[in-house]
Structure formats: C-alpha cells, structure tokens
Amino acid sequence: MSWRNAFALALTFAYGLSLSVSAASAQTYTDSPYLKEMGLPPVVERLPATPRVIGDREIGRYGGDLRLIMARSRDTRMMTVYGYARLVAFDDDFEIVPDILESVEVEEGRIFTFKLRQGHKWSDGQPFTTEDLRYWWEDVAKNAELSPFGPPVFLKVEDEWPQVDVIDETTIRYSWSQANPFFLPRLAAPRPAFIYRPSHFLKRFHTNFADPEELNQLQRKFRIRGWAPLHNSLDNLYNNDNPELPTLQPWVNTVRPPSQQFIFVRNPYFHRVDEDGQQLPYIDRVVMNIANGKLIPAKVGAGEADLQARSLFMTHFTFLRQAEEREGYETRLWHNGKGAQVALFPNLNYKDPVWRDLFRDVRFRRALSVAIDRDEINEAIFLGLSQPANNTVLPQSPLFDDEYQQVWTEYDPDLAEELLDELGLTERNKDGIRLLANGEPLEIVVETEGDATEQVDVLELVHDTWLDIGIKLFTRPSQSDVFRNRIYAGETQMAVSAGADNGIPTADMSPSEFAPTEQTQYQWPKWGQFFETSGQAGEAPDLPEAQELFQLYEDWRVATSTDEREEIWHRMLSLYTDQVYSIGIVCCTRQPVVVSQKLRNVPKEAMYNWDPGAHFGIFLPDSFYFAE
C-alpha cells in the first residue's frame, strides 16, 4: 500500500462523498420494512452524515434470510469476516479504501490521520467516536492486566510504539518516526486488528472506570474471577460471541454460543447505502446453522444453504451439480487465491548436516521438482482443472509472468537423473534407491498436516515418479501443532502444504512470503524465526540467494515508489522460483461456491481468498439481495 496512493484515494473518496452528500440531501434515505415498529429513530438519524455509497452493482430489494452452514459454534467469527466492515478495506481490485473511516491521510508512510464519519453509531445507537479508538489504545492495549504482552506487534516499528493523538471527536492520528507499511493492511485484514472498542459498553467492566462494588457484582453474575478476564470475555469483536457487544458490522449476532443455530439481524445503524439511498444490508437476517463439516456438502446438496463455500471441495462438485436443478441453486467455480494448491517445502534448516547440505543444493531441489509429473497429478486428482505450476503469484496478479510459473516444472526424469548424478549420488542399493555419501538411502519423509486427503493423494503420485529416479518418499501425517513444532525444531525433512497465502499480490503488498521473514515458512523456519525475534532465536540465513531475498525484502520496506517496489517484486519472484525454495505442484484450482438462484450481486467468477479477500467479504455481502 503506497501512502501516495492511499492519499490520492482518500482525496477522490472525499470528493465522491461531497457529491453524494449533496445528492443525498436531495433524495431521502430509505430503510428496510423489517425495522418498522421497532421504535427506532428515522433512518437519516441512524446513518452517519456521509454514509459510504456502494455502487457498481444492481440496486436490490429488502428482505429475506440468508442461510449459511458452518462447521463449529465458534464460526460466528465468519460473520465478522463476511461482513467486512473495516476502518479501511480492500475493494474488489484489491486496493485499500476507507470504509468505516471517511478518509485516511498518510504522510511519508509514517503519519496516519484517520477521519471518522460524523454521526456514525454503534449497533446499539451510541456514537462511534475517537474515544473508542483512544480507549482501546490507552485502556486496553497498554493496560498490563488486559494485555500482559503489551500492544500487538504490528504497531511496533523498530522498537517504537506509535504516538497516538486524538485531535477531535472524529479525527485521530497515529504516527511513527519511520514508515509502517503494515499498518493499513492489518486493519483491512479478514481478521483485522481491532484498534477500537465500544468504550461506552466496556467501561462498565473496566477497573479504571467502573464502580468497584458494581464490578464485583458483575463478576459474580458472570461467574468469572477478576475484572480483566471478565472484560476480556465480553469484548471480542472478532469472535462475535457476545450478542450484547455493540458492533459496526452489517449484521449483529443475537445468539450466545454455543448453539446449533445463530441468527444475525441487520444493524440499523450500518454505515453503507446503495446508489438509491437505501440503507444496506438488503438482507434482513443471516441464519447460520452449525453442522458437522462432513455433513455440510450433503446439507448444501439438499438445498439447505443460500451461499456456501466453506467445507465444500472439488470432490463434492459432481454431487452438488446433480442436485442443482431440484434444489434451485447454482454451483459456481471460483478461483483459488493460494500461490499453489499443493507445494513441497524442503527444510533448509533440517538438523542432520548431510541432508541439510543436500536440501541446500539448488541442483537437488531442481531435480526433485522436474521429477514430478504435474500433468498427471492435474489429470488424476484435479480432473484437469488445475495448472501445473511453481509456488508463485497467480495469473490474476499484475506481477505474474509465465517464467515464474513454469521454470523447473517440466517433467523431465532424465534431467533429474543427470542432476542427481552430478551431485555424486550415483550409488544405489538393491532396490534401486540412491545412497547418500554416508551410505544412507535417499529416503525422504514428507510430513502432512492432519488428514489432508488431497495432499496425501498428491504425494502418492509424486512417490511413483520419484521412485523412478531413485528417491523413496514416505508420507507421515501428524496433527497441526506437532506438524509445526517438528518443522520449527528442524526435525522435519520436508513438509507438504498449500503455497503462498496471497497468490494475487500487487507491488504494494508485502513480499514477505518470498523471503526468510517468518517462522511459519516451512522451507526455512529458523531463518524466519531469526528475523521475527530480531536475532534472539533461530539462525541467520547463510545461503547467498536467501540473503539476497531478505535484502530485497528490506529494500521493499523502505522503497518509496510503486515502480521501485514492482521492480523489487520481480527480482524476488525470479530468484525465488529459479532457486526452487518451495516445490510448487499445481495452482489455480477451483473452489465450488453454491449460490441460490435467487441471490443476486454475487460474482459469477471471482477469487476465493482469505487475505486479501476475506472470502466473500470484499464482494460486500451486504449488497447481496434476494430477487422475487
């Protein structure tokens, strides 16, 4: 996110708003009949002075229940994801725009001035002001009892916390002495950093504000010992598990978890309107039923959901398609936004030095990569609907290049054998498995997370073609926590997982996934940890190419123009894919999305992605509506 861009956007947005304000004063706002007889103030008073106008789609009509099915009671948080009301948010071109905020001004990438909407209200009708942002910063993030570890780290730039200045009721400024390119993207994330809280509601539970006697009574009532745990259990804006807690999302939860059903009703104070001045959302209620994840496809196929993608996979496609007509829905195939659907991660920090040196030799990684018959995997497991590819950016990204996607992916067992022979791995045992210098057979254990069926299936096929070049592959499934901890500790030779989380980055989005910056990068966990802990744990990268990637990442962080960033991105992608740090197998798989035939404004084809994307979030489900 370039600050210049954001600034320009803020400007255009403000300009657009001044237009819509004059238009709005000419036309009156309207709202859903659902809210009649609730004794609410008229809609004009419930909307902020300048609501956000959602354009570029069909004007809808009010009414209806949107039925969703989720796998766990805890999935109430998915409505925070789908609702996607954020201070700033990604639009469907993946640019950051103000949403809850009226405007954002960014100076030098380090001073962020937020302007709230005048008259914006929480779902309980109380005003949403800079006090809510201040309360979080001063009384929650910096309170040692509520936050034993201090404020979240994305607010920290080189050991420095931001300076927070409340300017007036609708203006607040966050500033650092250096640029913080991660600040706005974190606010726009599907699981955003909530840097505000409904202070009017929570102060009752905060020791600095509440009457001690009353606070004691409340603790008894809720059966929770201590004010901090009580405050904490009530204020989770993300989990959405407290129906009492006011929110800014389009729909408000009305049921306390756990339950088999959650009903979310429209927020009468929501800040978005359509071009005709109708307050959003169109749909009055969202009904979320909870069912065993494995039963969800069956329930969807029985017409029990209006909009569903979670728990549906390509393997269910045949079944879903067959029930389409009878149950009145459509099965759309959206694009998956991961850099690769399945990728192998040779662990460059593996504890055994012989193996580690082997993994660190680029020839070995290339040999492994070209010894995979990706076309066959595509046909056998993905029904030909995916693409053989490296773990890199997807064609939908402006940074895409054929070269990145295809280098070292052509199936060429002869080349693989040649590379392995070159490495001196010429001895073989009686089963034809190559031997390492120390006489150990070349047997690689690939670990998978949980019962990731699809990945295990892919590995079965990889096993065959690797065997042809004298490498034996074993698959070992383990539970998520064990899986990770083993990798972090260097006990895993190779891991299989999905590729880059964000396969559709723009030059302004962080390239951290392609440089050793995080412990969760399975190819170099210790190098990532080294960066994350500022050198206190882990190991410093000692391969020149990895060091170069890291340096490029640092350059990106301080780069000042989008062109410069784009240049850096290309150098990183080119280097990363040529070095085959992760062995991507296929990409561009599809995600089945079941949409009721009556539901409108849902894109026919789109990216289904977590961050950026928030699954359906960036398509603004509040603008979805049911046709007659």
Partner 1 sequence: MNDHGAGGERLTHFVSQEPFNPVIDAELTPEQERFYMASQWRLMWWKLRRHKLAVIAGGILLLLYLSALFAEVVSPYELSHRNRTHIFAPPQPIHLFDKGRFVGPFVYGFDRSVDPNDLRRVYTPNPEKVQPLRFFCSGGYRGADYEFWGLFDGDFHLFCPAEKSATVFLLGTDRLGRDMFSRIIYGARISLSVGLAGITLSFLLGIVIGGIAGYYGGWIDNVIQRFIEVLRSFPRLPLWMALSAAIPAKASPVAVYFAITLIIALLDWPGLARAVRSKLLALREEDFATAAELLGASPRRIIGRHLVPSFASHLIASATLAIPEMILAETALSFLGLGLRPPITSWGVLLQETLNIQAITITPWIMTPVIPVILTVLAFNFLGDGLRDAADPYK
Partner 2 sequence: MIGYIVHRLMVMIPTLLIVSALVFIIIQLPPGDFFETQIAEMKARGEGVDLNQIELLRRTYGFDKPLYAQYFGWLFGMVQGDFGHSFAHNRPVTELIGERMLLTFIVSFATIVFIWVVSFAIGTYTATRQYSLGDHFATFMGYLGLATPNFLLALVLMYLANAWFDTSIGGIMDDQFRNQPWTWAKAWSVLEHLWIPVIVIGTSGTAGMIRRLRANLLDELQKQYVVTGRAKGLPPRRLLWKYPLRVSLNPFIADIGSILPDVVSGSAIVAVVLNLDITGRMLLEALAAQDMFLAGSFLMFLSVLVVIGTLLSDLALAVLDPRIRLTGGPAK
Residues of this chain that bind partner 1 (CB under 8 A): 294-295, 297-298, 301, 315-319, 321-322, 376, 380, 383, 385, 451, 453, 456-457, 460-461, 475, 477-479, 481-482
Cα 610 from Cα 615, distance rounded (Å): 5
Closest to partner 1 by CB, 67 vs 590, is 590
Q: Which of partner 2, partner 1, none interacts with 477 (beta carbon under 5 to 8 A by kind)?
A: partner 1
Q: What's the distance, Cα to Cα, between the start and end of the chain in Å?
A: 41
Q: What is the chain's length? A: 628
Distance in Å, CB of 297 to partner 1, minimum: 5
Residues 360 and 468 sit within 8 Å (Cβ to Cβ): no
> 198: cis peptide before it, omega within 30°?
no
Closest to partner 1 by CB, 256 vs 321, is 321
Coil, strand, or helix at residue 79? helix
Q: Which of partner 1, partner 2, none interacts with 149 (beta carbon under 5 to 8 A by kind)?
A: partner 2
Q: Which of partner 1, partner 2, none interacts with 91 (beta carbon under 5 to 8 A by kind)?
A: none
> 258: cis peptide before it, omega within 30°?
yes
Cα 602 from Cα 600, distance rounded (Å): 5
Q: Which of partner 2, partner 1, none interacts with 451 (beta carbon under 5 to 8 A by kind)?
A: partner 1
Residues 77 and 310 sit within 8 Å (Cβ to Cβ): no
Closest to partner 2 by CB, 20 vs 510, is 510
Cα 358 from Cα 165, distance rounded (Å): 54
Q: Considering only 350-358, 408-416, 479-487, 531-539, which stretch makes contact with partner 2 by CB under 8 A?
A: 479-487
Q: Is 415 in the site for partner 2 (CB under 8 A)?
A: no
Q: Which of partner 1, partner 2, none interacts with 317 (beta carbon under 5 to 8 A by kind)?
A: partner 1
Give the contact letters, 176-215, x = binds to partner 2 (CB under 8 A), - = no: ---------------x------------------------
Q: Which of partner 1, partner 2, none interacts with 431 (beta carbon under 5 to 8 A by kind)?
A: none
Cα 375 from Cα 67, distance rounded (Å): 38
Distance in Å, CB of 494 to partner 1, minimum: 17
Q: Which of partner 1, partner 2, none interacts with 318 (beta carbon under 5 to 8 A by kind)?
A: partner 1
Residues 285 and 265 sit within 8 Å (Cβ to Cβ): yes
Q: Is 313 in the site for partner 2 (CB under 8 A)?
A: no
**Interface of this chain with partner 2, residues 218 to 237, rule: CB under 8 A:** 223-226, 228-229, 232-233, 236
Distance in Å, CB of 594 to partner 1, minimum: 13
> 612: cis peptide before it, omega within 30°?
yes
Q: Is 615 in the site for partner 2 (CB under 8 A)?
A: no
Contacts of 110 (CB under 8 A, 6+ apart): 157, 175, 176, 177, 178, 179, 180
Angle (CA) 332-334-340 rounded to 5° is 145
Q: Considering only 126-134, 147-155, 399-407, 417-425, which stretch makes contact with partner 2 by CB under 8 A?
A: 147-155
Distance in Å, CB of 289 to partner 2, minimum: 5
Distance in Å, CB of 300 to partner 2, minimum: 9
Look at strands 443-449 and 494-497 and give their pairing.
parallel
Q: Which of partner 2, partner 1, none interacts with 105 (beta carbon under 5 to 8 A by kind)?
A: none
Closest to partner 1 by CB, 177 vs 485, is 485
Distance in Å, CB of 291 to partner 2, minimum: 5
Cα 114 from Cα 324, distance rounded (Å): 47
Listing DSSP states for 441-456 in one string gives B-EEEEEEETT-HHHH
Q: 69-81 burial, b for 16+ CB within 10 Å, e for fewer?
A: bbbebebbbbbbb
